[in-house]
Chain A
């Protein structure tokens, strides 16, 4: 009897976690398909394709939060206008990074496999296996719910976090401009232009 009680309690507590995880998984699948559709649609001009992808990414990533995190200690000393400019530039930078990565996966099949819900941090971790002829690669999406909708807060390829890598990379570059975000924005503009031209060609 005791055993059944424990079983029922476990069952009751596990339902909401699974519901959160599955809901997040379904949402993510729809958004990934939107990006892949943009790549697979050959009728779309390259510029429009990127705009479509950028819009999807901006709508679904916690761009401002990630931007702030990545800026690290340079954030506090910057003016409001500089911060807003930086967030705008960072969102484009993020879109270019993800678009560039997803471009490579556009002809491959994928499957959303494991989903875990990190109850402590309220984050869903969704594994995506991307298959090629010779093997597969795993991408893990970290998804958080806020105001009744989901946002991607990070993605990991082969255990490497995009957000942590960006922070380390930005920190290294920010050091060269004495953590001046305004000066860094100029570098970010140049990099975005370069990335954009590479993506389109």
Chain B
């Protein structure tokens, strides 16, 4: 635990020092005259690009050799089993989701997530069945990375973590905070069942990967620079998660001009 605190402290220090530079570099604006566009980030602050690309290459091989085949195998399981596993894993995240909603001042959402956890853990048989959805208690995701962003902390530099994939300094800090505070993981450690923690992480990875097999393959097969495509996708996805963008009308996206030649 002390070791984890040291790591967290170290990450926070690095994060604060780099964040000052990152703020300016993230905010490159388009200014070309030959298209209409709204403001958006053209470049992502990636000072470790060389190392990141190497880690990304390693992750890509690991994905092709292990994760994707496992996810494809998992996809062949009967749908109720897949749903049950997915629901169970999502339910375990809910205490921290509720905490983060509270930290972001989303009292109503926190109450809904708590209700969701209670209903699904009891009536939904340890979270295997998503009964709460039928009661209008929708699944919402919030994590420490999003909470830090809501508190005004910038992205920091882009980083590709071995096996965990794309992230940035703020979200990595958030991930470490999740590891340190997750009640299920803490309980498993205390009971001497630490083996369950990596198992849970791996199960989450397989479950999530199984939901985006086609999308990842389409991106991988058709990108002139797969690394840059994933990096951009990660930032867009996180930005939408942080701002809780449900309505795409509010998303600042390019206004493409229509031309006829």
A interface list, Cβ under 8 A from B:
62, 64-66, 68-69, 72-73, 75-76, 84, 87, 93, 96-97, 100-101, 103-105, 116, 118, 121, 123, 125, 127, 133-135, 137, 140, 142, 144, 146-147, 151, 153-154, 156-161, 163-173, 187-188, 191, 194-195, 198-199
> Residues on B close to A: CB < 8 A?
30, 32-35, 37, 40, 42-44, 79, 82-83, 86, 211-215, 217-219, 221-225, 227-229, 231-233, 236-237, 239-241, 245, 247-249, 251, 253-261
| Cβ contact within 8 Å between A69 and B254 | yes
Decide if B231 touches A168 in the complex (CB within 8 Å): yes
Across-interface contacts of A103 in B (CB, < 8 A): 214, 218
Whether A164 touches B215, Cβ cut-off 8 Å, given contacts A134-B82, A159-B245, A195-B222, is no
- 8 A-B pairs besides A76-B32, A159-B236, A159-B251 with CB distance below 8 A are A87-B261, A101-B215, A116-B249, A123-B255, A160-B232, A163-B253, A169-B224, A169-B228
A167 touches B42 (CB 8 A): yes
Q: Known A100-B222, A164-B253, A164-B254; judge A116-B228 contact (CB<8 A).
A: no
With A97-B222, A104-B218, A168-B44 already in contact, the answer to whether A65 and B233 are too (CB < 8 A) is: no
Given A97-B222, A160-B233, A160-B237, check contact A72 B261 (CB 8 Å): no
Task: Give the CA-CA distance A168 to B229 in the complex, in Å.
Answer: 7
A159/B240 in contact, CB under 8 A:
yes
| List of B residues within 8 angstroms of A69 by Cβ | 35, 37, 254, 256-257
In the complex, the answer to whether B221 meets A195 with C-beta atoms within 8 Å is yes
Complex Cα distance, B256 from A166, in Å, reads 13
Residues from chain B with a CB closer than 8 A to the CB of A133 are: 79, 82
Closest to B250 in A: A118
Contact: B237 with A171, CB < 8 Å?
no
Q: Are B232 and A104 in contact (CB under 8 A)?
A: no
Q: Is the CB of A170 within 8 A of B224?
A: yes
- Residues of the B chain whose Cβ atoms lie less than 8 Å from the Cβ of A105: 214
Does A191 lie within 8 Å of B214, measured CB to CB? Answer: no
Bound complex: CA of A13 vs CA of B34, how far in Å?
33
Q: Is the CB of B221 within 8 A of A157?
A: no
Closest residue on chain A to residue B221 by CB atoms: A198
CB <8 Å contact, B249 and A125: yes
Q: Is the CB of A65 within 8 A of B256?
A: yes
Contact partner of B256 (CB less than 8 A), chosen from A118, A125, A163, A165, is: A163
A187: B residues at CB distance < 8 A:
224
Question: Who on chain A is nearest to B35 by CB?
Answer: A69
Contact present for A137 and B233 (CB under 8 Å): no
| Complex alpha-carbon distance, A191 and B220, angstroms | 11
Taking CB as reference atom, which chain B residue is nearest A119? B249
Q: B236 is contacted by which of A72, A73, A104, A161 (Cβ under 8 Å)?
A: A161
Which A residues are in CB contact (< 8 Å) with B86? Answer: 134-135
